[in-house]
Amino acid sequence: MASGDDTSVYSLSISSTHDGSVVALAMSSIIVVERFRDDNGVFMLSEGQVVRSVACLRGPDSKVYVVAAGDGKLISVHDVSLAAPFEAGRCEQYGYHPAEETVIFRYGPHNKRITHAVTCGDACILFADKFGEVFRLQLAWGCGSTLAVATDCPEPVFLLQHFSVLTGLLVSCPVAQHSCEVVKLASDGKGAAAPVPVAARWLFTFDKDCHARVSCYPDTFRIEQFLWTKPPQAVVTAVVEIPPLEDQGNFSYFVIGLYSGKVNLWAADNRAVEVGLPIDSFSVRGSFSPELAKTQETGAVISLAYIKLATYGPPSGGRNRVSHGLLIAYGNVCDVIFVPLDNALDGSGAPFIVTEVIHTPLESHPIAMTRCAVDSVLLLERSGCVQRLHLVEEGNSTRIHVFRLALFESAVSYAIQRHPSDFLRCLNLFSQWNHGCVDPRVRKRETRAASEDSSEVVGDGE
Per-residue pLDDT of the chain (462 residues; tens, 9 = 90+): 666 554 467 899 999 999 999 999 999 999 999 998 766 689 999 998 999 999 999 998 889 999 999 999 999 999 998 998 888 777 665 566 777 789 999 998 999 999 999 999 999 999 999 999 999 999 999 987 889 999 888 899 999 999 899 999 999 998 876 656 554 544 444 555 556 667 889 999 999 999 999 998 988 877 888 999 988 999 999 999 998 876 666 889 999 999 999 999 999 988 877 665 666 789 999 999 988 877 778 899 999 999 999 876 655 544 456 789 999 999 999 999 999 998 877 666 679 999 899 999 999 999 999 999 999 999 999 999 999 999 998 888 889 999 999 999 999 999 998 888 889 999 999 988 876 554 444 445 544 544 444 344 344 444
Q: What is the pTM of this model?
A: 0.87
Within a domain: residue 75? no
Q: In what order do the strands lie in the sheet with 358-361?
A: 301-308, 324-330, 335-340, 358-361
Render 205-260 in DSSP notation, one character per residue: EEETTS-EEEEEES-TTSEEEE---SSSP--EEEEEEEPPPTT-TTEEEEEEEETT
In a domain, 399, yes or no: yes
Q: Answer yes or no: is 425 within a domain.
A: yes
In single-letter form, the type of residue at position 426 comes to C
The 10 Å CB-count burial string (b at 16+, else e) for 308-347 is: bbeebeeeeeeeeebbbbbbbbbbebbbbbbbbbbbebee
Does residue 376 lie within any of the structural domains? yes
**Whole-number Å distance between alpha carbons of 387 and 372:** 11
Please check whether residue 352 lies inside any domain of the structure: yes
Residue 73 is predicted with a pLDDT of: 97
Domain of 367, in residue numbers: 298-431
pLDDT attached to residue 256: 98
Please give the Cα distance from 204 to 225 (Å, whole number).
Answer: 10
Domain count, the chain: 1
CA distance 352 to 337: 12
- What are the two backbone dihedrals, phi and then psi, of residue 444, each rounded to the nearest 5 degrees? -65, -40
E-strand stretches of 30-141: 30-35, 42-46, 51-58, 64-70, 75-79, 103-107, 114-119, 124-129, 133-141
Q: For 69-126, what is each residue's pLDDT tens digit?
A: 999 999 999 999 899 888 877 766 556 677 778 999 999 899 999 999 999 999 999 9
Question: What is the predicted pLDDT for the residue at 323?
Answer: 87
DSSP string for 307-327: EE-TT-----TT--S--EEEE
pLDDT for 441: 47
How much is the pLDDT for 397?
85
If phi > 0 it is left, if psi is from -120 to 50 it is alpha, else beta; for residue 330 that is beta
Is residue 126, in this structure, part of any structural domain at all? no
CA 236/CA 216 separation, integer angstroms = 19
Of the candidates 210, 202, 228, the one whose C-alpha atom is nearest the C-alpha of residue 284 is: 228
Contact 412, 25 (CB under 8 A): yes
pLDDT at 408: 95
On whether residue 382 sits in a domain, the answer given is yes
The answer to whether position 333 is within a domain reads yes
Which residue from 121, 122, 149, 152 is spatially nearest to 137, judged by alpha carbons? 149
